């Protein structure tokens, strides 16, 4: 699997998620089997580049190549300048956000709102590709199937993006109108794949190995992108890779191994965010990891009252150590009901 000049180790990608896929989380996912990870969305507005939030989102210290940065905006020249700015600071792939359904993004006509204006969307693509090409940096595009059920124009925009030089297209199988409700559909992704000669990545509701296999088969996609299912379970990439290679499920990781992963992630997280912000922003990552465990909800409520990184880390260490005594292997969550094969193509 290649994106421009970059050979990726596999076709299992981490979806860019605001407030989630910061550098420590991306590094963790790559360590646990993800072949590619894209940064949180970074605004194209130059006046916000010096903000603490943006500086953290642009932190790539120690991150393995290729470094991919997602940019968002509504002005072609500002987006081109944002591409150049991030390339100067280490970006090796630029990803254009036309997939975010958040109201605060779409109300400014950025993210998936751009799909309502095909001409502007493609002007932005052309400008970003033109700005990135002299540096040898490929441009990718992430989008939805369309703005609403009646306007699923992903194929049209994808064709236009390929014609303007985009190296890969990722499609989330929902419209902007859906947000994250309902179920993703894969028929549109299959149509995009059939229409293009560049790689296509499928995204949406891929939460277990069998679903990964079925989505790849239903869409013909070159890769899959996993978002919410990796929250609290970043080793899902290892699980899927093993299943795709062998047709069998991997054994659950040892509980003490998961503890080691989580504690190392916390230390990296604290290093990026500092004491006060670190302890508070780490709560969601810990909560995702423990919520389905025996005693997990009680622990999460207690942990959310902790106000120091040292105490928080120690609490996680002790809770998972006790859990390992009763459950040497990580307890499996209740299995999700299997979807019929025809639902994947609907």
- Angle in degrees, CA 21, 24, 30, rounded to 5: 80
Q: Which of 29, 100, 106, 201 is catalytic?
A: 100
- List the one residue out of 132, 202, 135, 130 whose CA is nearest residue 168: 202
CA max distance for the chain: 60
Is 100 tagged catalytic? yes
The span from the CA of 254 to the CA of 323, in Å, is 11
CB 115 within 8 A of CB 177: no
Spatial distance between the Cα atoms of 201 and 107, rounded to a whole number of angstroms: 26
For CA atoms 266, 271, 275, 277, give the dihedral sign.
negative
The number of angstroms, rounded, from the C-alpha of 279 to the middle of its chain's C-alpha atoms is 23
Residue set of the binding site for FMN = 16-18, 70, 142, 172, 203-205, 227-228
For the annotated catalytic residues, the residue numbers are: 100
């Amino acid at each position: 699997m290649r994106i421009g000049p970059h050979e990726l180790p596999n076709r299992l990608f981490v979806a860019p998620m605001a407030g989630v896929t910061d550098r420590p989380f991306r590094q963790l996912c790559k360590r646990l089997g993800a072949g590619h990870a894209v940064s949180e969305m970074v605004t194209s507005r130059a006046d916000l580049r010096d903000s603490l939030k943006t500086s953290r989102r642009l932190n790539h210290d120690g991150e393995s190549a290729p470094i991919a940065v997602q940019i968002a905006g509504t002005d072609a020249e500002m987006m081109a300048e944002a591409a150049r700015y991030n390339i100067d600071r280490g970006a090796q792939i630029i990803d254009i956000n036309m997939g975010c359904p958040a109201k605060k993004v779409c109300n400014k006509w950025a993210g998936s709102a751009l799909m309502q204006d095909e001409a502007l969307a493609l002007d932005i693509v052309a400008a970003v590709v033109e700005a990135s090409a002299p540096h040898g940096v490929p441009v990718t595009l992430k989008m939805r199937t369309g703005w609403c059920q009646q306007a699923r124009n992903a194929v049209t925009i994808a064709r236009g993006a390929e014609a303007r030089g985009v190296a890969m297209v990722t499609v989330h199988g929902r419209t902007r109108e859906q947000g994250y409700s309902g179920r993703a559909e894969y028929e549109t992704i299959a149509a995009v794949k059939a229409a293009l000669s560049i790689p296509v990545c499928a995204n949406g509701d891929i939460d277990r190995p069998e679903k990964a296999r079925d989505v790849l088969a239903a869409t013909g996609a070159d890769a899959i992108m996993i978002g919410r299912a990796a929250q609290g379970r970043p080793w899902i990439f290892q699980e899927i890779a093993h299943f795709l290679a062998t047709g069998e499920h991997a054994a659950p990781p040892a509980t003490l191994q998961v503890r080691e992963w989580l504690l190392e992630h916390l230390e990296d997280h604290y290093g990026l965010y500092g004491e006060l912000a670190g302890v508070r922003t780490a709560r969601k990552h810990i909560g995702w990891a423990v919520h389905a465990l025996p005693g997990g909800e009680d622990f999460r409520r207690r942990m959310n009252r902790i106000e120091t990184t040292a105490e928080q880390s120690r609490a996680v260490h002790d809770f998972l150590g006790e859990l390992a005594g009763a459950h040497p292997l990580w307890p499996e969550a209740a299995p999700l009901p299997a979807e019929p094969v025809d639902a994947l193509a609907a």
